Structure 1
Amino acid sequence: MSQEQINILQRALKREKTARKAAEKILESKSRELYALSEELKITNTKLETSVSEKSSQLAGVFENIIDAYMVMDLRGNVLKMNDAASKLFGYNLSEEKLNVNSLIYTEDITYAFESFSELVEKGRFSNYTARVFRKNKEVRWVQINASLIYDADQKPIAAQGIIRNITELKSLEAQKEKIRNALEKSNNELHEYAHIVSHDLKSPLRSIDALVSWIKSDNEGKLDEETLQNFSMIESTLETMERLISNILEYSSAGSETNKLEDVNLNNTMEDVNRLLFVPEHISIDILKKMPTVKGDPTKFQQLFQNLMSNAVKFSNKDNGIVEVDFVEEPSFYQFSVKDNGIGIEKKFHDRIFKIFHSLNRNKESTGIGLSIVKKIVDLYEGTIWLDSEFGKGTTFFFTIKK
C-alpha cells in the first residue's frame, strides 16, 4: 500500500472517530434528557395514581353514603352495582344473586316504564319518573327516579345510572290528605246547605209574626193607644234585628268557604257597587284616594269585604264632617289596603276582640257583631292579614293585605 493510500485511510479514520465522538455526545445528551423525562413521568404517574386512588375512595364513600338508593345497570336492564340504600329498598344482594330491573316493575306500570326507558335512550336522561315497584318479597313501594346514560370514550352509551327515592310514606300521606279534604269539602257543603235551610225556616215565622202585627195594627187603626203602638213598633224593630242577624250568620257561614271563582276583579267597579248599596248621610264623605288595582278572586267576596269595612266606618261616625278614606299601597308580592275614618275610634284593649263573631263594642241596633268577623274570614281565605290602628275618640284605620 502506498503512502498516499495510507494517508487517505488515516484521514478517513480520523473523521470517523470525530463523527463517533460527536454522535456519542449527542446520544449522551439525549439520554440525560430521556432520563430526566422518565423521572418526571414517574413522579407524575405516582401523583396521578395517588389522586385516582383518593378520588376513587371519595367516590366510593359518596356512593355508599347517598341517602337515596343508587343503581347502575347495563342497557339490557341487568343491575351492575347498587349501594346499601338500594339493597335495603329492593331486598336484593348483588354479591349473592343477579337482578334485572324488569323484575322490579309493577305490573300496571309496565307501559309507563318502557316509555320512560325509551325517553332515557333517546334524550340521555329522564326526571321525576314516579311509579310503583316490587321488592324481592313482592311488597309494593312507590319510588321517584332520576336517571341518565353513561357513555364510553367514543360517546357511545354503555350503561345507565339512577337515583331512586322511596316516596311510599309521602304517597300514603297524600292519599290521607285527599280523603280528609274530600270529607271536609262534603261536610262544608252540607253545613252550608243546612245554614240556608235553617235561615229560611227561622225567617218564615219571623215574617209571619211581622205580618200578624201589621194586620192587628191595620184592623185596630184608631183604637190603639200610644203605648200599645210603641210596643208594636218595638216588636217590629226586634223582628227586623232578628232577621238581619239570621242573614248575617248565613253570610258569615259562607264568607270563608273556598270558591272556584278566580277571575280578575277590578276594585274600581267594586267601589262603585259598594257606594250604590251603602246609605251615606250627607255629612259623611267617602273618598277613594287613588285608582284601585285589579286582583284575582271572587267579586262577591271582595264586595263583602269592602262593604263591611266601609259601612262600619259610616255607621260609627260621630263627627259633623265624617270622612271615610279608602287607599292602598303596592308591594312586590301583595297589595296593602286601608279604610280610614274619623269616627268614635276603638280602645286598644278591644283590638284583639273585634274580629270575633258577636263581639260588638257598640249597642247600635244595626250592629250584630258579625261584620268584622266576615271581613277576617275573607282576608284569611285569600291568605292575607288584617289589623287596625285606632285612637279612641279620633278614628280608626283598618289595614289588610291581599296577595297578588
Structure 2
Amino acid sequence: MSQEQIHILQRALNREKAARKAAEKILEDKSRELYVLSEELKISNAKLEDSFNEKSSQLAGVFENIIDAYVVMDLRGNVLKMNDAASDLFGYNIEEEALNVTCLIYPEDTAYAFDSFSQLVENGRFSNYTARIFTKKKEVRWVQINANLIFDKSNKPIAAQGIIRNITELKNLEEQKEKIRHALEKSNNELYEYAHIVSHDLKSPLRSIDALVSWIKMDNEGKLDADTLQNLQLIEGTLETMESLISNILEYSSAGSETNESKDVDLNVTMDDLNTLLFVPEHISINIVKKLPIVKGDPTKFQQLFQNLMSNAIKFSNKEKGIVEIDVEEKPSFYQFSVKDNGIGIEKKFHDRIFKIFQSLNKSKESTGIGLSIVKKIVDLYEGTIWLESELGKGTTFFFTIKK
C-alpha cells in the first residue's frame, strides 16, 4: 500500500471518528433533554395525581355531607352507593346487606313508581317525584325525588342517581292545614246558617212590637197627646234602627265568606243596577269617569262593595252640589278603583278605625258602623287592599284593588 493510500485511509478514519463524536454529542444532548422532560413529566403527573386525590376527597366529602339523601343504583334497582343521609332515612347499610329500591316502594304507589322509572329510562331524568316509601322498620315517609341516568363513554346508560328529600313533616303539616281548613269551612257555614236563624228570630218580635205600636195609634186616634205620639214615634224609629242593625250584621257575616259562584261581572251593569237601588238626592250627581272593567267573582258581593261606598258618600255629603265620582286605573296584575266625594271628610287619626265593625264616626240612626267593615271583608276576599285619602271639609277618596 502506497503512502498516498495510507493518507487517504487516515483521513477517512479521522472523518469517521469526528462523525461518531458528533453523533455521540447529539445523542448525549437528546438524552439529557429526554431526562429533563421525563423529570418534568414526573412532577406534572405527581401534581395531577395530588389534584385528582384532592378532587376525589372533595367529592367524597360532598357525597357524605349533603343534607338530602343521595343514592346511586344500577338499572335493575340495586343500590350501589348511598350517603349517610340516605342510610339514616331508609335504615339500611348497603355495606352489610343488599338493597333494591323496590323494597322501599309503598304498595299503593307501586304503579306510580314504575311509571316514573319508565320516564327516567325514556327521558334520562325525572323531577319532583313525590310519593311514600317504607323504611327498613316499615315506617312510612314522604319523599320528593329528582333523578337522572348515568352514561358510559359510548353514551350507554349504566346506572341512575337521585337526590331524595324527606318531606314527611311538610306533608303532615299540609294534611293538618287541610283538616283545619275543612273544619273552619264547616264552622263558617254553620255560623252563617245560625246568623240567618237568629236574624229571623230577632226580627219577629221587633215586627210584633211595631205592629202593636201601630194598633195603639189606630185604636187611640185623636185621643193621644203630643208627648205620647212623640214617644211612639221614638219607639218606631228605634225598632227600625234595630231591624237595620240586624240586617247589617247578617250582611257582614256573609260578606267575607267564599263563594263557588265566579263569573264575569260587568261593573258597568252593576252601576246601572245601583242607580235604580240607591236613593240619590237631586243635589248629588254620580259620575263614572271611565268605562269600568269586567271582573271575575260574585256579582252580589261586588254590588255590596260599591253600594256601601257610594251610600257612605251620599250620606255624608254636606255641599249644595254633592259629587260622587267612580274611577278605575288598570295595573299589570290588578285594577285600582276609587270612589271620591266632596263631603265632610275624615280626620287622619280615624282612617284605620273606620274599617272595624261598629266603629261609625257619625252617631246618627242611619249609620250602624258596619258598611265599611263589609267593604273591607269583600276586598280581603278578593285579595285586594283598601285605603283612603281625606281632608276635613273637602271630601274623601276610597281606593281599593281587585286582582285580575
Same structural fold, with TM-score higher than 0.5 when normalized by the shorter chain: yes
TM-score for both structures, normalised by structure 1: 0.89
Deviates most, 191-200 or 349-358: 349-358
Deviation of 1:27 after TM superposition, in Å, equals 7.4
* Structural mapping, 1:60-209, within 5 Å: 60-209=60-209
1:191 alignment partner AA: L
Q: Distance in 2 between matches of 1:215 and 1:139?
A: 76
2:380 alignment partner AA: D
The equivalent of 1:365 in structure 2 is 365
The equivalent of 1:4 in structure 2 is none
**Uncovered stretches (5+) of structure 2, i.e. residues with no partner:** 2-8
Q: Aligned with 2:126: secondary structure?
A: strand
1:12-69: per-residue Cα shift (whole Å, max 9, x none)?
9999999999998997887777667655654543443233222212211211111100
The reply on whether 1:354 has 2:354 as its aligned counterpart is yes
1:193-224: per-residue Cα shift (whole Å, max 9, x none)?
11111111122222233333334444444454
1:64-111: per-residue Cα shift (whole Å, max 9, x none)?
111100011111211111111111111122222222212111222222
**Uncovered stretches (5+) of structure 1, i.e. residues with no partner:** 2-8
Q: Distance in 2 between matches of 1:277 and 1:22?
A: 120
Q: Distance in 2 between matches of 1:158 and 1:123?
A: 14
1:79 alignment partner AA: V
Q: Distance in 2 between matches of 1:173 and 1:203?
A: 44
Q: Aligned with 1:264: secondary structure?
A: strand
The equivalent of 1:282 in structure 2 is 282
2:115 alignment partner AA: E
Identical aligned residues as a percent: 83
Deviates most, 177-186 or 33-42: 33-42
Deviation of 1:239 after TM superposition, in Å, equals 2.1
Structure 1 residues 52 and 212 mapped into 2: Cα distance closer, same or farther (>3 Å)? same
Deviation of 1:352 after TM superposition, in Å, equals 2.5
The equivalent of 1:382 in structure 2 is 382
1:100-150: per-residue Cα shift (whole Å, max 9, x none)?
212111222222222211111111111111111111122111111111111
Deviation of 1:179 after TM superposition, in Å, equals 0.9
The equivalent of 2:315 in structure 1 is 315
* Structural mapping, 1:324-343, within 5 Å: 324-343=324-343
Q: Distance in 2 between matches of 1:16 and 1:305?
A: 116
1:303 alignment partner AA: Q
The equivalent of 2:239 in structure 1 is 239
Deviates most, 14-23 or 270-279: 14-23
1:306-352: per-residue Cα shift (whole Å, max 9, x none)?
11011100000011011111223333333322211111112223222
Deviates most, 173-182 or 197-206: 197-206
Q: Distance in 2 between matches of 1:305 and 1:354?
A: 15
Deviates most, 255-264 or 280-289: 255-264
Q: Aligned with 1:172: secondary structure?
A: helix
1:204-249: per-residue Cα shift (whole Å, max 9, x none)?
2222333333344444444544444433333332222221111100
Structure 1 residues 60 and 317 mapped into 2: Cα distance closer, same or farther (>3 Å)? same
Structure 1 residues 268 and 51 mapped into 2: Cα distance closer, same or farther (>3 Å)? farther
Q: Aligned with 1:137: secondary structure?
A: coil
1:299 alignment partner AA: P
Deviates most, 62-71 or 130-139: 130-139
The equivalent of 1:344 in structure 2 is 344
Q: How much is the aligned-residue C-alpha RMSD, in angstroms?
A: 2.9
Q: Distance in 1 between matches of 2:395 and 2:138?
A: 71
1:355-393: per-residue Cα shift (whole Å, max 9, x none)?
111111112221111101111111121222222222222
Structure 1 residues 75 and 240 mapped into 2: Cα distance closer, same or farther (>3 Å)? same
Q: Aligned with 2:365: secondary structure?
A: coil
Structure 1 residues 39 and 268 mapped into 2: Cα distance closer, same or farther (>3 Å)? farther
Q: Distance in 2 between matches of 1:316 and 1:351?
A: 16
Q: Distance in 2 between matches of 1:16 and 1:267?
A: 113
Deviates most, 134-143 or 45-54: 45-54
1:144-188: per-residue Cα shift (whole Å, max 9, x none)?
111111111111111111111111111111111111111110000
1:223-282: per-residue Cα shift (whole Å, max 9, x none)?
544444433333332222221111100000001111223333222222222222211111
Q: Distance in 1 between matches of 2:56 and 2:89?
A: 25
Structure 1 residues 278 and 33 mapped into 2: Cα distance closer, same or farther (>3 Å)? farther
Deviates most, 171-180 or 327-336: 327-336
Structure 1 residues 103 and 300 mapped into 2: Cα distance closer, same or farther (>3 Å)? same
2:284 alignment partner AA: I
Aligned positions, number = 404
Q: Aligned with 2:324: secondary structure?
A: strand
